[in-house]
A and B are shown apart, each in its own frame.
Chain A
Amino acid sequence: MSIEIINPGLATSVQDLGRPGYFHLGIPIGGAMDRLAMRSANLLVGNDESAAGLESVFVGPEIRFNCDSVVAATGADMPIKIDGEIQPNSTALSIKAGQVLSFDFLKSGARIYIAIAGGIDVPKALGSRSTYPIGALGGFKGRALQKGDVLPLGKSSDSLNPGQALDKNLRRMPKQPAELRVLPGLYWHRITEKSQKQFFEDEWVVGTEVDRMGYRFKGGTQLEFVDREAPFGAGSDPSNIVDSCYPYGSIQVPSGCEPIILHRDAVSGGGYFMIGAVISADMDLIGQLLPNSATRFIRVTMDEALRARKDRENLLNKIRKYLE
């Protein structure tokens, strides 16, 4: 039981829900950038939510199935095809041995998640099948997929339900402009009150340097720093700190110019100050942002962040119930 990559698209990799526990050694959690979409895709094909699937960015892959199976694609709006015929998205689709799964052009969002009944059965590395290419770790040979790769599939569950679809109201995509909720903190005190206010008033756009490690934004006002004497070991730029840990979702702003939000494949630390972090409930949304998308940062409190986290959990529970 396997699938063969005919064309990997722009970048397709094996991902699951990640490998927590090794960030203190510089190995990030990794896994699907849009966790909710990955979980939904898995549930549609009767998999455990943590089964490994494929994440593709901007362009879909072309995949030949070597066995009969059930497949679903969620996340970005990108029409899915079997042997060239358009099929419904976010739907469990039967596919026969020899048939080819492919995709049309991206309409909105940035990443699609492809789950196949039984999951991608590559060996686990440090407890996860997620691909971490910088460390050549996990996934298929520790790298993004290439033409000709043959991926083994696991044993599918007994609860396959082809034709089952995920209701539109149970999908979550960024608004336009996108809104990312941010809890100020970390080195927030390093910028002036004026900049603190301005950061949330400006409309930003997603830059072109965007990947699984982080998303860069531009178009807003350059931040002004509070004067200081540079601490020993920090470096002379006002945005430098003594190299520290970087939280997932943290927003660093080198030289006060372009904010970078670290994502699932984050570097674990470095020497740039951070003004706070995107709350856990909104991390999935970042994975669906395209370059040049307008984005606003919304200031929230810890209580609001925790409520938003609850809302997201409730949505996931609704999805679970709907697809039961």
Chain B
Amino acid sequence: MKNRYTFGGDEHLFVECAESMSLEAFFKSLFMTNAISDRKIQGVTEICPANASFQIKFNPDVIHPNEMLRVVQEIENDAELAEPIIDTRIIEIPVYYQDPWTHETLMHFRERHQTPDSTDIEYAAEINGYKDVNAFIEAHSGSPWFVSMVGFVSGLPFMFQMVERSEQIQVPKYLRPRTDTPKLTVGYGGCFSCIYSVRGAGGYQMFGITPMPIFDPTEEIKYLEDFMVFFKPGDIVKFKPVDRAEYDQIIEDVGNNKFEPVIRTVTFNLKEFQKDNKLYNKQMEGLIHEH
């Protein structure tokens, strides 16, 4: 897997690790952006990892574009030798699937959807071959996800599920984007799940909502005091289905600033994971519940 290098105007170097999405491509992007960050290259102003690519913004008055290219290509050679191991965290995110708020929104925008007569999650379950919505929710919440990119808007995580390609859920986006999406909607588009950090336009299918804020520009929420954005690329997420009562309880706890997300540190080894991903995921899930 060799990178494709190209410039975005005179201030960005754009690097595509692979055309297709895969954990390997994501890992390469994460590794290289970490290595570039460690080098502290003069003139680099932004280092942005994405799902299977990344982008470096630089000041061409300080570093010539060709020199920028040369340095990053050099780092690619090192990245190929590195062991694919990262120290990261695994986070449990409560999700109220089929909640009334995303339901109201999806009904409102039905004429922009592929199936006017069913809901987003019914549609996703059907086209992915699940016998019903419950089986679909089991799959969506059953295996963990890598946060493979943070962006689009403030702090929104794109997540890629840690399962075989054949088991991956794939759903098209809305035919025409909605002009509204409730804040904290758990969405899906292509092979990515996401959580809408703020209210706004969106094209991803809507499956549910989390009561756990992930972006707080006021930095008043306890677990967002140090920094307003919760997610980082490389975080691992496990969704936990909750019912209305649990959802309301968490909302209340967040309101009183008493809610503490379940977060555990973990060392992830891609090669070990690839040997038996089901077993590996089980072990990681075990971490969430041990104290």
The distance from the CB of A113 to the nearest CB of chain B, in whole angstroms, is 22
Instruction: Decide yes or no: A183 and B7 within 8 Å by CB, A21-B45, A23-B57, A27-B229 being known contacts.
Output: yes
Is A59 located at the chain interface by the 8 A CB criterion? no
Collect the chain A residues with CB atoms within 8 Å of residue B115's CB.
Answer: none
Q: Which residues of B are found within 8 Å of A242, using beta-carbon distances?
A: 19-21, 51-53, 190
**Residue ID in chain A nearest B33 by CB atoms:** A24
Instruction: Please provide the chain A residues from 121 to 169 with a CB less than 8 Å away from any CB of chain B in the complex.
Output: 125, 132, 134-137, 142
Asked if A25 and B154 make an inter-chain contact with CB atoms under 8 angstroms apart, the answer reads yes
**Chain B residues, CB < 8 A from A186:** 6, 8, 14
Closest residue of chain B to A313 (Cβ to Cβ) is B61
Q: How far is the CA of A241 from the CA of B18 in the complex (A)?
A: 11
In the bound complex, what is the Cα–Cα distance between A26 and B158 (angstroms)? 11
**Which secondary structure dominates chain A's binding surface?**
mixed
Q: How far is the CB of B219 from chain A (nearest CB, A)?
A: 9
- B47–A24 CB distance below 8 A: yes
The minimal Cβ–Cβ distance linking A224 to chain B, given in whole angstroms, is: 19
A88: interface (CB < 8 Å):
no
Residue on A nearest B158 in the bound complex, by CB: A243
| Contact status A244-B9, CB under 8 Å | no
Contact A24-B189, Cβ < 8 Å, known A134-B154, A231-B19, A242-B20: no
Q: Which residues of B contact A236 (CB under 8 A)?
A: 172
Q: Does A249 contact B (CB under 8 A)?
A: yes
Query: Given the known A-B contacts A135-B215, A278-B9, are A268 and B152 also in contact in the complex, defined by CB atoms under 8 Å?
Result: yes
Bound Cα distance from A231 to B52, whole angstroms: 11
Task: Write out the residue numbers on chain A whose beta carbons fall within 8 Å of the beta carbon of B165.
Answer: 232
Q: Restricting to B120-154, which residues have a CB under 8 Å from any CB of A?
A: 149-154
Chain B residues near A278: list those with CB within 8 A: 9
| A250 adjacent to chain B (CB < 8 Å) | yes
In the assembled complex, B198 has its CB within 8 A of some CB on chain A: yes
| A254–chain B nearest beta-carbon distance, Å | 10
Q: Contact at B198–A234, with CB atoms within 8 Å?
A: no
Cβ contact within 8 Å between B155 and A234: no
Known: A24-B46, A233-B190, A247-B12. A134 touches B198 (CB 8 A): yes
Tell yes or no: A271 within 8 A of B by CB: yes
Residues of B within 8 A of A232 (CB): 20-22, 165, 191
A37 within 8 A of partner (CB) = no
Whether B48 sits at the interface, judged by CB under 8 Å, is yes
**B interface residues, how many (CB within 8 angstroms):** 55
In the bound complex, residues from chain B placing their C-beta under 8 Å from that of A250 are: 8-9, 12
**A236 to B170, alpha carbons, bound, how many Å?**
11
Q: How far is the CA of A212 from the CA of B286 in the complex (A)?
A: 46
Q: Is the C-beta of A277 less than 8 angstroms from some C-beta in chain B?
A: yes
- Chain B min CB distance to A83 (Å): 38
Q: Point out the residue from B9, B172, B200 that lies within 8 Å of A280, measured CB to CB.
A: B9
Measured CA separation A21–B45 after assembly (Å): 6
Give A175-203 as 1s and 0s: 1 = Cβ < 8 Å from B's Cβ atoms: 00000000101101000000000000000
Q: Are A234 and B190 in contact (CB-based, < 8 A)?
A: yes
Q: Is A97 an interface residue (CB 8 A)?
A: no
Q: Which residue of B lies closest to A304 (CB)?
A: B10
| Interface flag for B102 (CB, 8 Å) | no
Given the complex, which residues of A lie within 8 Å of B197, measured CB to CB?
26
Given contacts A250-B8, A250-B9, 7 further A-B pairs with CB under 8 A are A24-B46, A26-B156, A135-B153, A135-B198, A231-B21, A242-B20, A243-B190
26 residue pairs A–B, Cβ–Cβ below 8 Å: A21-B46, A24-B233, A25-B154, A25-B155, A26-B155, A134-B198, A183-B10, A232-B165, A233-B160, A234-B19, A235-B189, A242-B20, A243-B51, A243-B152, A244-B16, A245-B48, A247-B8, A248-B57, A250-B8, A269-B149, A271-B173, A277-B7, A280-B11, A280-B60, A302-B10, A309-B10
Residues of B within 8 A of A (CB): 6-12, 14, 16, 18-22, 45-55, 57, 60-61, 65, 149-156, 158, 160, 165, 170, 172-173, 189-192, 197-198, 200, 215, 217, 228-229, 233
Counting from the closest, the 3 A-B pairs by CB-CB distance are A247-B8, A233-B21, A277-B9
